[in-house]
Chain A
Amino acid sequence: MIEVRHLNKSFGSNRILEDVNFSIAKGESIVIIGRSGGGKSVLLKHLIGLLKPDSGQVLVDQEDITAMNERELLRVRRRFGMLFQNAALFDSLTVAENVAFAFRRNREMSRKEIEEKVADVLDLVDLPGTQNKKPAELSGGMRKRVGLARAIIYRPEILLYDEPTTGLDPIVADSIDQLMLRIRDRLKATSVVVTHDMRSARRVGQRILLLHNRRIYASGTPDEIFGSTDPVVRKFIDGVSDQKEDFF
Chain B
Amino acid sequence: MNLLARSWIADSLEGLGRIALLAKEAVGSLFRWKVAWSDLIYQIYFMGVKSQSVILITGAFTGMVLGAQTYFQFHKVRMDTATLAVVSVSMCSELGPVLTGLMVAGRVGAAIAAEIGTMRVTEQIDALRTLATHPVDYLVVPRLLAAHIVLPLLTVEAICLGIGAAYVVGVFLLGIDATYSWYNMLKYTDVADVAVGIIKAFIYGGLVALIGCYKGLHCGEGAEGVGRATTESVVASSISILIANFFLTMLLNELLGGV
Q: Could you list which residues of chain A lie within 8 angstroms of chain B, going by C-beta atoms? A: 45, 48, 50, 70-71, 73-75, 77-78, 80-82, 84-86, 88-92, 101-102, 104-105, 150-151, 160
Contacts and interface: CB of A to CB of B under 8 A. Distances in A.
B12 interface: no
Interface of B: 36, 115, 119, 122-124, 126-134
A84 B127 contact: yes
Nearest to B36: A104
Given A50-B129, A104-B36, A88 B124 contact: yes
Contact of A88 (B36, B122, B133, B134): B122
B91 to A, nearest CB: 36
A81 B130 contact: yes
Nearest to B118: A91
Given A74-B134, A81-B130, A89-B127, 9 more contacts: A50-B130, A70-B129, A70-B134, A71-B134, A74-B133, A86-B122, A88-B123, A88-B124, A88-B127
A187 B36 CA distance: 31
A246 B247 CA distance: 67
Contacts of A70: 129, 134
29 contacts: A45-B126, A48-B130, A50-B129, A50-B130, A74-B129, A74-B134, A77-B129, A77-B131, A77-B132, A78-B132, A80-B130, A81-B130, A84-B123, A85-B123, A88-B122, A88-B123, A88-B127, A89-B127, A90-B124, A90-B127, A90-B128, A91-B122, A92-B115, A101-B131, A101-B133, A102-B131, A102-B132, A104-B133, A150-B131
A81 B132 CA distance: 10
B42 to A, nearest CB: 9
Task: Output the residue of B126, B131, B133, B134 with the most chain A CB within 10 A.
Answer: B131
A81 B131 CA distance: 7
Contacts of A78: 132
Contacts of A45: 126
A140 to B, nearest CB: 14
B126 A84 contact: yes
Contacts of A105: 36
A121 B8 CA distance: 51
- A-B CB proximity, top 4 nearest: A88-B127, A88-B123, A82-B130, A77-B132
